[in-house]
C-alpha cells in the first residue's frame, strides 16, 4: 500500500486497537486484585474502628441506589446477634484522585462510630492532603460525632488541604444521607 493517506491512518488504527486490547486485558487481570485488597483494607479498618464487631457482612448486593451516593460497598456489622452498625466505603474526588474512605455509623443513633482512609493519592509532604489523611488525629475527630457535627471536622494543625477536606466531608455526608434516607428506612 503506497498511498500515505490510507496507510498512516490504517496503521495508527491498528496500533490503537492493539493498545486498547492490551489495556483491557491488564485491567481484567488487575481489577479483581485491587478490589480484593481494598476489601481487606476495609475489613481491617472496621475491626480497628469497632472492636466489638462480631460479624461483618458485605450487603451491597441488597441495595440498588448506593452508586448515586458515591458509595462503593456497604457492610452490616453485628454485635450480639444484632445489627449494631453499618460501614460505608465511599469514594470522593480529592485534589489528585479519589479519596476512598470507610465510615462506620451506628445503627440505632445518629452517631459516627469511626472513620478511616482506605486509599488516597493526594499530594505528599508539607501541609497537603496526604498529611491530613494520614494523621491519626484527623480520623479521631469522627469518633462519637453526631451526624449533624460533620461540618465541625477541622484540619489537622498545619494542613492546608481544602480540596481534600471538601472531598472527605462530601463522602461522609453522602454516606450519612444514604444511611438515614435509605438503609434505616428499610429501603433497598
Residue-wise pLDDT tens digits, 55-107:
888 899 898 888 888 898 999 999 988 999 999 999 887 777 777 888 999 98
Quick one: pLDDT at residue 103? 92
Evaluate whether residue 37 is within a structural domain.
no
In a domain, 3, yes or no: no
Over 60: is that where the pLDDT of 158 sits? no
1 assigned to some structural domain: no
8 A C-beta contact, residue 48 and residue 116: yes
pLDDT band (50, 70, 90) for residue 155: low
Q: What is the pTM of this model?
A: 0.75
Residue-level pLDDT at 45: 79
In a domain, 160, yes or no: yes
- Whether 68 maps to a domain, the answer reads yes
pLDDT band for 48, please (50, 70, 90 cuts): confident
Residue 155 lies in a domain: yes
Instruction: Count structural domains, the chain.
Output: 1
Domain that includes residue 105, residue range: 42-183
Does residue 81 form part of some domain? yes
Is residue 13 assigned to a domain? no
- Nearest Cα neighbor of 87 from 97, 96, 95, 78 is 78
Is pLDDT above 60 for 123? no
Amino acid at each position: 500500500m503506497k498511498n500515505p493517506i490510507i496507510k498512516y491512518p490504517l496503521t495508527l488504527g491498528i496500533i490503537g486497537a492493539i493498545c486498547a486490547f492490551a489495556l483491557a486485558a491488564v485491567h481484567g487481570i488487575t481489577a479483581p486484585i485491587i478490589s480484593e485488597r481494598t476489601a481487606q483494607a476495609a475489613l481491617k479498618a472496621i475491626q480497628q474502628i469497632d472492636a466489638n464487631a462480631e460479624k461483618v457482612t458485605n450487603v451491597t448486593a441488597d441495595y440498588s441506589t448506593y452508586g448515586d451516593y458515591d458509595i462503593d460497598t456497604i457492610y452490616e456489622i453485628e454485635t450480639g446477634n444484632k445489627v449494631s452498625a453499618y460501614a460505608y466505603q465511599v469514594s470522593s474526588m480529592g485534589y489528585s484522585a479519589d479519596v476512598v474512605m470507610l465510615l462506620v455509623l451506628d445503627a440505632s443513633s445518629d452517631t459516627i462510630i469511626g472513620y478511616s482512609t482506605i486509599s488516597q493519592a493526594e499530594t505528599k509532604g508539607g501541609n497537603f492532603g496526604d498529611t491530613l489523611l494520614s494523621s491519626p488525629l484527623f480520623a479521631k475527630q469522627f469518633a462519637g460525632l453526631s451526624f449533624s457535627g460533620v461540618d465541625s471536622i477541622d484540619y489537622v494543625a498545619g494542613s492546608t488541604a481544602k480540596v481534600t477536606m471538601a472531598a472527605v466531608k462530601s463522602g461522609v455526608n453522602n454516606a450519612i444521607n444514604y444511611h438515614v434516607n435509605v438503609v434505616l428506612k428499610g429501603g433497598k
